[in-house]
Amino acid sequence: MSEHGELNTYESASIAKGAVFLDEKAGNCTDIDKTGVTEVTRVTALITKLNNGNLTKESDDTKATNQIPKKEDCPVFRVFDEFVEYDKKKLLPGVWYFETNKDNDITKTRVCSPLHIEAVTYDSQNNNFGRLLRFQTTLKVWRNWAMPMELLKGDGSELRGELLAMGLEIQPGLKVRNLLSTYLQSNPPNKQIQCALQAGWCNDSFVLPDKVYGKSADKIIFQSGERQHGEYTTAGTLQGWQENIAAYAVNNPVLTLAISSAFAGALLKRCHVDSGGVHFVGESSTGKSTAGIVAGSVWGGKNYRRTWRTTSNGLEGVAMLFNDGLLVLDEIGECDPREVGAMVYALGNGKGKQRANRSGNARSVNNWQCFVLSNGEHSIPTIMREGGHRCNAGQEVRLLDLPVERQYGIFDDLHDFEAGDKLSDRLKEASTKHYGMAGRKFLEKVTHDSRDFTDRLQKIKDSTLFHVDNAQGQHKRAAARFALIGLAGELATEYGITGWSEGAALKAAAECFKIWCSTRGKGNTERHKITEQVNAFIDRHGDSRFSAKSNTDSAQTKDRAGWWEDSGGERLYLFTKDGMHEALKGFDFKRGLDVLENIGALQKPGNSDNGKRTVQRKIGGKNRRLYAINATLLSDSVHES
C-alpha cells in the first residue's frame, strides 16, 4: 500500500476476493472483509518458507507488481524488484518515491534497494510491534528481518545502521533518511503475525532466531533489534556428531551428564522447573572446559560457549539469549568474586535487576529460564569467600558444585586413546565440525511430543536412583536437578539423537548425584553450616572469651562472649546477646536459633518463662539473660551431618 493509500496489484486482487490476516487469538486466518472462504494467506506461506529456510528470489512472493505512478497518484512510494523503463530511461531496482513539483511534473527519489513490508508483527501481549521486512542485499540475495518499530525512534540512525549492516543499500542524504522512515511507518499492511522476542517456547512452538519448531510454526516469527545471532548455528551432520562426540560419552558419566544437560533447558517449562544448573569443579587441564564445549555442540559452534568474565548486568543479556536452552559458562575464576553470589541468584531466579526509566517508574524486568553448565577450579562458596561473602544454601542449590576429577581427568573410559588430553583434543576438534544438529532434531521431536513430562520426572525423582534416607530440602532439590538431566538425556536417546543405550543417561545422572551427596553429607546444608560455625566459634574462643560463671573478673577475659558452666557432666556455654549474634554472623539470627533449638543444643528455660530462648543466671551479683548452648550436643550434630 502506498503512502496515500494506493494499492499494488496484489493487494487490489486480494481485497477483491477477500484478503485474510492471521488472527492470533483464534489461531487461524480470518477474512478482513468477512466475505469469501478463509484460506491460507500469503504471509503464512511466507513465514513457512522463512522457517524452512527456502525462500528465494525466484518464489512468487518476491515478484514486484508495482507500476510507474500517474501524476494523480503522487505522492507515492513504489517498489521495483527489477529495472523499470521510465521516461526512456531505466530505473534501478529499489524503493522509489514519486511526487510532483511546483510545475506539476513528476520527480522521483530512490530511497534504497528493494525493500518490501510483508506484515505487522506484535507479541502475545499486543506490545513490541514491528514490521516483517523482505529486502535485497548488495549481493542480490534476499533477506528477511522482523524489525522492531522502536528502532525508528529519534532520527532512525539505529535502524539504518542495522539495515546497512545486513546489506540493504540506502541512498545518502537527509531527505532519503526521512523518506525511509516514512515508508516503513506509513500504512502498515493488513497481514499480521505474532512475534517472539526471545529464543525459547512460545505457546506450543519453540523459537530459534532462524527457525520455529512446532505445530504453530507458521504463525510465529523471531523478532530482534540485532542482526547477529550466531549462537544457534549448524555444521556437519547428526550422524557425524553421534559418531565423533556422543559415542565417547559411553562409560563416561561426567561427559554423559554434560551432553544430557544440553537438552534439559528445553524441558524446564514443560516440567515446571526453575532455572539452575551444575558447576563442574576440578583442577586445571582435567577436561572441564571440554565438557562445556561438548555440551555446547548440541546447539551451536564456537560462539555458543560463554565465559564468566562479565558483570552481573552483562550476564542478564547473555542469559536472555539462551532462554529455555543451555547456558555454558567457562572458568568462574575469571569473574569478580564479589559479584558471583548475586549472579548465581539471578541465574537461578531467572530475573534481572529492577531498574527505573527516566521518569523514575519501574521498567519491565528481564526474564529468562535456562539450564546452566559452569566450570572452574574452585567451588562457588570458595569463590564467594574470596570476594568477602558467605555462600548461602539457596545459592549452592541453584548451581550445584560437582567434583569431576575421575580416573583420567573427567574420563573413566579413554576409548583406546593414550591419555585423557588426547581424547579431550579429539572431542574439541570434532565439536568444530559437527554442531547444532542434535539440538534441532530434539526440537523437532519434543515440540510434537504431547506426553506429560512432569509426571515422568516425578517418577524418576521417586525412584531408588535418586533416593536419600532422611533427605532434607536441599538434597531433594539437588535430586530433582539431576533427575531432570537424566530425563533429558533419556528423551534424546528415545528420539534417536544420542545413540546411547536406554538408561545410560539416568545412570550417569544418578552416579553424579551420589558424588554430590558424598560431598555434602546427608543433612540440610544450611543447618550443617550453622552448627558448624557455632561449634567452630566455641572451639576458637572457648578458653579466651568465655570464663567460668563463678569468675567475674572482666579484666581477665577480653571481648567477652559469655561464660560457661558444667551441668550433669556436660558443659553449657552461656552466650551474651552480642556473643550469640557474632557466632551466628552471616545467618538470619532467628533462623540460627531455630536450628540450634531443633538439634537440642539450645537449652531453654521452663514453661514459666513465657517461651523465651534465654536462660537467667546471676553472675557478679547481676541477673543476666544468656543463650545456653550444650557443647556436646552441638558437636555431635556437626559430626553426624
Is residue 594 left, alpha or beta, with left meaning phi > 0 and alpha meaning psi from -120 to 50?
alpha
Host H or E run for residue 292: helix 288-296
Cis peptide upstream of residue 75 (ω within 30 degrees of 0): yes
- Say if 227 falls within a structural domain: no
- Please state, in angstroms and rounded to a whole number, the distance separating the CA atoms of residues 262 and 257: 9
Instruction: State how beta strands 28-31 and 20-23 pair.
Output: antiparallel
Predicted local confidence at residue 554, as pLDDT:
61
Query: Which amino acid type is present at position 616?
Result: Q
**547 and 450 together in one domain:** no
Report the 10 Å Cβ neighbour count for 314.
Answer: 12
Confirm if 240 and 251 have CB atoms less than 8 A apart.
Answer: no
* Three cell numbers written together for 83: 529495472
**474 and 563 together in one domain:** no
**498 and 620 together in one domain:** no
Contacts of 367 (CB under 8 A, 6+ apart): 320, 350, 351, 352
Predicted local confidence at residue 24, as pLDDT:
31
Length of the chain: 641
Q: How far lies 55's CA from each of 134, 141, 143, 144, 441, in Å?
A: 10, 10, 9, 9, 21
* Three cell numbers written together for 268: 524446564
Higher pLDDT, 552 or 326: 326
In the chain, how many domains are there? 3
Contacts of 164 (CB under 8 A, 6+ apart): 170
User: Average of pLDDT values for 60-71?
Assistant: 63
Q: How far lies 586's CA from each of 387, 389, 436, in Å?
A: 14, 9, 44
* Three cell numbers written together for 234: 549448524
**89 and 166 together in one domain:** yes
Q: Which residue in the block uniquely carries the three cell numbers 593414550?
A: 418
Given a cut of 60, whether residue 12 has pLDDT beyond it is: no
Over its C-alpha atoms, the chain yields an Rg (Å, rounded) of: 33
Domain of residue 552 covers 525-640
Per-residue pLDDT tens over the stretch 279-319:
999 888 899 999 999 999 999 999 999 999 999 888 998 99
Report the 10 Å Cβ neighbour count for 154.
Answer: 9
**473 and 608 together in one domain:** no
Task: Check the CA dihedral 345-351-356-362 and report its sign.
Answer: negative
Given a cut of 60, whether residue 4 has pLDDT beyond it is: no
Contacts 24+ apart (CB under 8 A), 137-144: 137/113, 137/166, 137/167, 137/168, 137/169, 138/113, 138/167, 138/169, 139/167, 140/57, 141/57, 141/167, 142/55, 142/56, 142/57, 142/62, 143/167, 144/50, 144/55
**383 and 436 together in one domain:** yes
Confirm if 531 and 637 have CB atoms less than 8 A apart.
Answer: yes
Per-residue pLDDT tens over the stretch 468-495:
877 778 889 999 999 999 999 999 999 9
**75 and 190 together in one domain:** yes
Confirm if 3 and 186 have CB atoms less than 8 A apart.
Answer: yes
Report the 10 Å Cβ neighbour count for 378.
Answer: 17
Contacts of 422 (CB under 8 A, 6+ apart): 414
Query: Which amino acid type is present at position 514?
Result: K
Backbone angles phi, psi at 487, to 5 degrees: -60, -45
Q: Which residues of 397-432 are buried (b: 16+ CB within 10 A; e: fewer)?
A: bbbbbbbbebebbbbebbeebeebbebbebbbebbe
- Please state, in angstroms and rounded to a whole number, the distance separating the CA atoms of residues 380 and 280: 10
Contacts of 449 (CB under 8 A, 6+ apart): 491
- Say if 233 falls within a structural domain: no
User: Dihedral (C-alpha) 289, 291, 295, 300: value to the nearest 10 degrees?
Assistant: 40
- Please state, in angstroms and rounded to a whole number, the distance separating the CA atoms of residues 47 and 615: 74
Predicted local confidence at residue 186, as pLDDT:
86
Domain boundary among 520, 539, 572: 520
Given a cut of 50, whether residue 185 has pLDDT beyond it is: yes
3-state secondary structure at position 148: strand
* Three cell numbers written together for 610: 513465657
- Say if 1 falls within a structural domain: no
Domain boundary among 495, 520, 545: 520
Per-residue pLDDT tens over the stretch 208-256:
999 999 998 888 999 987 766 789 999 999 999 999 999 999 999 999 9
When mean pLDDT is compared across 65-69, 189-193, 201-205, 486-490, the lowest value belongs to 65-69
Burial label for 243, CB within 10 Å (0-12, 13-18, 19+), is middle
**516 and 542 together in one domain:** no
Backbone angles phi, psi at 388, to 5 degrees: 80, 20
User: Average of pLDDT values for 392-409?
Assistant: 91
Per-residue pLDDT tens over the stretch 407-433:
999 999 999 999 999 999 999 999 999
3-state secondary structure at position 77: strand
**429 and 364 together in one domain:** yes
- Say if 628 falls within a structural domain: yes
Host H or E run for residue 23: strand 20-23
Report the 10 Å Cβ neighbour count for 209.
Answer: 19
When mean pLDDT is compared across 17-31, 385-399, 449-463, 541-555, the lowest value belongs to 17-31
- Say if 232 falls within a structural domain: no
Predicted local confidence at residue 13, as pLDDT:
32
Given a cut of 80, whether residue 64 has pLDDT beyond it is: no
- Say if 367 falls within a structural domain: yes
- Say if 187 falls within a structural domain: yes
Query: Which amino acid type is present at position 487?
Result: L
**244 and 209 together in one domain:** no
Predicted local confidence at residue 611, as pLDDT:
63
Predicted local confidence at residue 248, as pLDDT:
98
Confidence label for 594 from pLDDT (cuts 50, 70 and 90): confident
Domain boundary among 482, 505, 520: 520
- Please state, in angstroms and rounded to a whole number, the distance separating the CA atoms of residues 448 and 467: 32
When mean pLDDT is compared across 92-106, 391-405, 600-614, the lowest value belongs to 600-614
Compute the half-sphere exposure of residue 627: CA atoms within 13 Å on the CB side of its CA: 25
Q: Which residue in the block uniquely carries the three cell numbers 535502524?
A: 159
**178 and 199 together in one domain:** yes
Predicted local confidence at residue 552, as pLDDT:
65
- Say if 60 falls within a structural domain: yes
Say what percent of the chain tops pLDDT 90: 65
Among 330, 325, 328, smallest CA distance to 370 is for: 325
Q: What is the mean pLDDT of the chain?
A: 86
Confidence label for 54 from pLDDT (cuts 50, 70 and 90): very low
Host H or E run for residue 602: strand 602-603
DSSP tag of 453:
H
- Please state, in angstroms and rounded to a whole number, the distance separating the CA atoms of residues 484 and 509: 9
**513 and 530 together in one domain:** no
Q: Angle 628-634-635 (CA atoms, 0-180°, nearest 5)?
A: 135
* Three cell numbers written together for 292: 562445556
Per-residue pLDDT tens over the stretch 147-169:
999 999 999 999 999 999 999 99
Contacts of 602 (CB under 8 A, 6+ apart): 593, 596, 613, 627, 628, 629, 630
